[in-house]
Amino acid sequence: MAIKTLEDLLQEGVSGRGVLVRSDLNVPLDEQGAITDPGRIIASVPTLKALSDAGAKVVVTAHLGRPKGGPDPKFSLAPVAAALGEQLGRHVQLAGDVVGTDALARAEGLTDGDVLLLENIRFDTRETSKDDAERGKLAKALVELVGDDGAFVSDGFGVVHRKQASVYDVATLLPHYAGTLVAAEVKVLEQLTSSTDRPYAVVLGGSKVSDKLAVIESLAQRADSLLIGGGMCFTFLAAQGFSVGSSLLEESMVDTCRTLLDTYADVLHLPVDVVVADKFAADATAEVVAADRIPDDRMGLDIGPGTVQRFTTLLSNARTVFWNGPMGVFEFASFAAGTKGVAEAIIAATGKGGFSVVGGGDSAAAVRQLGLPDDGFSHISTGGGASLEYLEGKKLPGLEVLES
């Protein structure tokens, strides 16, 4: 059964109806609580605006961070409500609770076109409960906010790989639809897994091999080249017998990496040089060394210029590129060149007619922090974990439930 979309819901009519929308508004905040990257808020606007303009009474649920055991003021959605209101060009109410008396009172008072944002859904521990009955109770309380003739729109792609009350259980209780963002993400990922133009290049970074093992094994069988950077490259370098100094190393994964290198020798590509330092700090002195000559008292914090050149050559004729994970500690200027250089190579491939996907998470943050153009890539995903699990071939609960 095909997934119904927002367009289907709008054709059915939403004027005067309550519509519960699960958005992904999990944006990064600085120490003062200011939003540092509004990308996910901006991405949520098309669905919410379409519903509001069509006269729906919109109730939005979302999370922020990982509060433990209940409400925590530092994870309040207050700054998100303000930013969302600016993007929508209309006032967005923020409920003082998740499904309590304030949320219920505000929901009952909504008029056509109004938008209400519930407080952080993870303030209610039932959201992430492993107990189906507990999640079900929260889902029923959420449904009460939009009424018996309400509908549910799933538009938080970053959480569709989670079996949670506001993602999965509510969809079993209401007519359900994929929002603009979720529909677009699925279309892109289907293209990556089915009708892929070749050569197909994959760029993977991040800190741990164990986090990416399944996707490495899956994509190595489909890609023409798989370029490894970030902290996890050092476990691969160790598997080649090289000393990696004090670099990040998963010793338990060395044998696995050795097997991967043997099995996919013609596909996997590792750094030929790295940028090292004596400490993990923005003011650390950077030095470029060969990948097999890392000093014992140094840690690798970025891929080197020779590797950027090599990876750029491999990417130059790519027709399809998937990138997930930075090449180094891009948050520090001295160790951002690898990520920026590889990103620019992907942009160049895109400019020549290639199809490129940035797999969310830190990669998407790097694009914006390094001043790279969003439109230099074909698609920037809002969900890193969900993207990876989809490409691994896993079933995503939040998508499966929309098919029922």
Domain residue limits, the chain: 6-180, 188-392
* Residue 376 annotated in active site: no
162 assigned ligand-binding residue: yes
Angle at 70 between CA 69 and CA 76, to 5 degrees: 130
**Which DSSP symbol is given to 195?**
S
* Residue 361 annotated in active site: yes
Which CATH entry fits the domain spanning 188-392: 3.20.20.70, 3.30.70.260, 1.10.3720.10, 3.40.50.1260?
Answer: 3.40.50.1260
pLDDT tens for residues 42-78?
Answer: 999 999 999 999 999 999 999 999 998 889 999 999 9
pLDDT category at 184 given cuts 50, 70, 90 is very high
298 assigned ligand-binding residue: no
**pLDDT score recorded for residue 260:** 96
Q: What residues does 265 pair with on adjacent strands?
A: none
85 assigned ligand-binding residue: no
Catalytic pick among 39, 325, 385, 398: 385
Highest CATH level, class, for 6-180: alpha beta
Pick from 242, 246, 174, 233: nearest CA to 206:
233
pLDDT tens for residues 215-261?
Answer: 899 899 999 999 999 999 999 999 999 999 999 999 999 999 999 99
Mean pLDDT of 183-194: 89
pLDDT category at 212 given cuts 50, 70, 90 is confident
pTM over 0.85: yes
Residue 371 backbone class (left: φ over 0; alpha: ψ -120 to 50; beta: rest): left
**pLDDT score recorded for residue 183:** 95
What backbone phi and psi angles, to 5 degrees, belong to 287? -145, 135
* Residue 85 annotated in active site: no
- pLDDT surpassing 60 at residue 1: no
- pLDDT surpassing 60 at residue 185: yes
Strands, E, within 52-114: which ranges? 57-61, 92-94
Mean pLDDT of the chain: 94
Tell me whether the CATH fold assigned to 6-180 matches the one assigned to 188-392. Answer: yes
Contact of 370 with 137, CB cutoff 8 Å: no
pLDDT category at 207 given cuts 50, 70, 90 is confident
* Residue 385 annotated in active site: yes
